[in-house]
Structure 1
Amino acid sequence: MSIRGDVGHRFRDPLVEVGDFARDVLVRCPACGDRAIVRWPAEARWREGGGPPRWRLFCFACGKSKDIVTSAGAFGEPVDPYFRLPLWLQANCGGKVLWAYNAEHLDFLEALVAARIRERWAIFGTVSAEGTPGAYCYANDTASAMSLMSRLPGWLKLTKNREQVLHVIRRLRSSLPPAPGSEGRPGGSLGRHG
């Protein structure tokens, strides 16, 4: 899922939930305090017999590795949903905690906060503010009530907080290793330190 793009102008709710960003979660290693990842390993998507998935903690610095088998995660706090470790990407933002699971989650938050126009999906039979049937609209409808955009705290979406929130997002992004092909700019490789 690609969220980045026309940052600063228009944001159309992609109807994602916070759990959609939780396949690769950057955390603080419980052994050394450096950057680690909680990942749903591709080779272990489902256990034999259809049991719940296995999640793996791996530290990029010290090599600590641990697995956990669970089908339930606790979402919505600045800890990973499975091991409950503190997130790598969290910082104070005006007395509140701004957090993200990974670079893709940061992309989502940045695009939303930077946008001057934020649009939500319309449900069938509704009409947008421009009068277009079934188009994007600003209505608070059932179809988008569960989306992450609709569930983010109000302070994060306030225009008066935009610059401060974007500053904190940039600071969090700078704690990431360079993304492949990014010419050294931080951005979200989930791989080893360079």
Structure 2
Amino acid sequence: MKVKQTKMEKRYKQTGYYYAKYYSVECPKCHKEATVSHDGSYWGWKNAELKCLHCMHKENRADLLLYEVTVRRNCPDCGKQISAEINNLKNPPKEMNVTCPDCSFSAKYTTNISSYRLVNKLNGMKGDPLFNYPLWLQGEVKRNLFWAYNREHLEEIRSYVDAELRERQSLYLMTMVARLPQFIKEAKNRDDILKKIDILLKR
């Protein structure tokens, strides 16, 4: 008696794993794959590091923090408004000398200090949330930007796209699948996305 064998359907079961523990990015120096890592906490982001094992380039997110100092006053000699500002400072001064452009009166004033971070321009690419360097694992699928934080994240997306059965997602957790763009979830794009994933995994 022959036993009819049934095809095993590929099943996706969500893991609940947090993939944003580190990011694979393009090194700003050698343009090869580098890693941005942090300790997992929001406050630990300020100590995030970029390391490239190809050219040994390193960066600390704290290095991106710069300061701007400003002075806005009325000249005590002629009453005209005086102003001055200096930006891109690593060590902002608490006081600075400012000269009135009308009467040339000069005095030392307390500065207002504000901080900001340098932002890299990506021209439509997806960047990591700490340094905003281009993610290493990204490309275009049918005019849609496809990306993953790292290889573990990419493999998880592959498991989801390749599955024929998908477990219902949690209603109270923002799972990896819940964050996926709609074009990745559409069956008509499955083959194109799987091809793109194979290409990215070989980078």
* Corresponding residue for residue 32 of structure 2: 34
Give the Cα–Cα distance (whole angstroms) in 1 for the partners of residues 35 and 169 of structure 2.
Answer: 33
Give 2:157's aligned residue: 109
How far the C-alpha of 1:153 sits from its partner, in A, is 1.1
* Superposed CA offset, 1:130-178 (max 9, x none): xxxxxxxxxxxx324x212122111101111101000000000011xxx
- 2:83 aligned with 1:85: no
Task: Work out which of the residue numbers 52, 58, 64 in structure 1 matches 2:51.
Answer: 58
CA distance in 2, matches of 1:157, 1:87: 21
The change in CA–CA distance for 1:121 and 1:152 in structure 2 (over 3 A counts) is closer
Are 2:198 and 1:170 equivalent residues in the alignment? yes
Give the counterpart letter for 1:13 in structure 2.
Q
The equivalences for 1:152-191 within 5 A come to 152-175=180-203
Q: Which runs of 5+ in 2 are unaligned?
A: 1-7, 65-124
Sort the Cα spacing of 1:8 and 1:90 in 2 relative to 1 into closer, same or farther, 3 A: farther
Structure-2 change in CA distance of 1:23 and 1:15 (3 Å): closer
Can you give the 5+ residue segments of structure 1 that lack an aligned partner in the other structure? 1-6, 71-76, 123-141, 176-194
How far apart in 2 are the matches of 1:8 and 1:109? 17
Runs of 4+ in structure 1 deviating by more than 6 angstroms, as ranges, are: none
- 1:9-24 aligned within 5 A: 9-16=10-17, 20-24=18-22
Q: How much has 1:60 moved relative to structure 2?
A: 1.9
Q: TM-score, normalised by structure 1?
A: 0.62
Aligned residues with identical type, % of pairs: 31
Bigger shift: residues 22-31 or 105-114? 22-31
For the pair shown, the structure with the greater C-alpha radius of gyration is: 2
Displacement after TM superposition at 1:90 (Å): 0.5
Please name the residue that 1:97 is paired with: 145
Whether the 8 Å CA contact 2:38–2:44 is kept in 1: the answer is no
Deviation at 1:34, TM superposition (A): 1.3
Distance 1:62 1:8, change over 3 A: farther
Partner SS state of residue 120, structure 1: coil
> Paired residues, what number?
134
Give how far 1:31 is off.
1.6
User: What is the root-mean-square deviation in Å for CA atoms of aligned residues?
Assistant: 2.6
Residue 105 of structure 1 aligns to a residue whose secondary structure is helix
Q: Give the direction of change, closer, same or farther, for the CA distance of 1:121–1:157 in structure 2 (3 Å limit).
A: closer
Structure with greater strand percent: 2
Q: 3-state SS of the aligned residue for 1:14?
A: coil
CA contact (8 A) 1:110 1:166 kept: yes
